[in-house]
Structure 1
Amino acid sequence: MNTDQIEGKWKQLKGKVKENWGELTDDDLDVAEGKRDYLIGKIQSRYGKSKEEAKQEVDSFFEKI
């Protein structure tokens, strides 16, 4: 799924994102609005991951859906 598709379907995808990364708040997801870099940054800070780890997780997640 490319970035435009993610942003376009963000309201539908928020629930799946929340299931996968439960520590992200609804406010985090509202601000993200499907923006990949913002989501990566939030996952990185909430879960203490490196930027590369968070990027791989996000990319893998969106490839599966």
Structure 2
Amino acid sequence: MFAIAAAIVFGLALLFDLADVSSDAFDYATLVTVGLLFISLHLAGFGTATNWRSGWNNRRRTRR
């Protein structure tokens, strides 16, 4: 989920940079920083569909 949000934010950052659109709240650097935050959260495992109770170890224990 965070990877999709990061792709959208990076797309907006690219469009803003190409069109030279800038405002005080959302400029190119802010959007890139938010996109990198979303990518790091995605790589850390936040926003994934797996639950901490349904991990690999619990599935292995039930098959014994």
* Greater helix share, structure number: 1
Q: Which interval holds the TM-score relative to the shorter structure?
A: 0.3 to 0.5
TM-score normalised to the size of structure 2? 0.34
* Bigger RCO of structures 1 and 2 (CA < 8 A, at least 6 apart): 2
State TM-score, norm by structure 1: 0.33
